[in-house]
Amino acid sequence: MAKDLTVCSCTLPSSLLKLNQLQGWQLHRIGLLKIPEFIGRFQNLIILDLSRNTISEIPRGIGLLTRLQELILSYNKIKTVPKELSNCVSLEKLELAVNRDISDLPQELGSLIKLTHLDLSMNHFTTIPSAVLNMPALEWLDLGSNRLEQLPDTIERMQNLHTLWLQRNEITCLPETISNMKNLGTLVLSNNKLQDIPLCMEEMTNLRFVNFRDNPLKLEVTLSPSEGIEEEEEELFGLQFMHTYIQESRSRADNQVNCSTTSPISINTDG
């Protein structure tokens, strides 16, 4: 059975080195100011959870934890992430939510081939870091409540992604390449600045839940009342809205084409 460390102190004494066989640290709400430099000597750590403290930086020694599978540092005051974190080759889950000031990730983190879960919500990202786009195994990503203005065309590189949270950003449009994300099942885009939904999104047959609520979409779409919807099917409301919106958008585009092709031709006979 894994041995865990649970203590209550804003500083960690070096005497903890006697417990270097620990597999889990769980230190919450103790006002911890920094991760000790000797953290790298805990070679057996699998889970390191230091969320809800006042940590301002991650020591480079973190890269020595090659067995680490979960690193949870949400609700701290971290501003930058060291490239040495890429040496944590066993990392599967990384949570850096609600640090407020993280705005980028080192390119080297793209080599984390086992990372499947990444939470970067409530920080200061203005674009999706290239390191994230390069993570080959990523399945779950939360970039909600940042300052994203657009999504890169290369977002399609995240082929294993099945859940993408992008709520509460400033995204104005979606790239057509998003339709190439064939495994995407959940897409949350509420509270952005989207003005349209790309027609190509109707090709995303694996989508099971979408949310376009609170966006200034240019078309007003009214859904017919649905009777007898089972409780577990209520999440399909956003999906139904998306398909109805696309149908309406396509219909209006077709009408404009028809109007232009049937317009009378005027012939100038003067002279």
CATH number at residue 113: 3.80.10.10
In a domain, 189, yes or no: yes
In a domain, 133, yes or no: yes
Q: Which residue has the tokens 């949570």?
A: 95
pLDDT higher than 50, residue 222: yes
Q: Higher model confidence: residue 111 or residue 234?
A: 111
In a domain, 244, yes or no: yes
pLDDT higher than 90, residue 82: yes
Q: Higher model confidence: residue 79 or residue 237?
A: 79
Q: Which residue has the tokens 């400033």?
A: 170
pLDDT higher than 50, residue 267: no
Q: Higher model confidence: residue 156 or residue 17?
A: 156
In a domain, 266, yes or no: no
In a domain, 14, yes or no: no
In a domain, 258, yes or no: no
What is the token pair recorded at 186?
């959940």
Give the domain extent around 100.
4-8+19-224+231-252
Q: Higher model confidence: residue 156 or residue 19?
A: 156
pLDDT higher than 50, residue 231: no
pLDDT on residue 37 = 87
With beta carbons less than 8 A apart as the criterion, state whether 161 and 182 touch.
no
Average pLDDT over residues 233-237: 50
Banded model confidence at residue 1, pLDDT cuts 50, 70, 90: very low
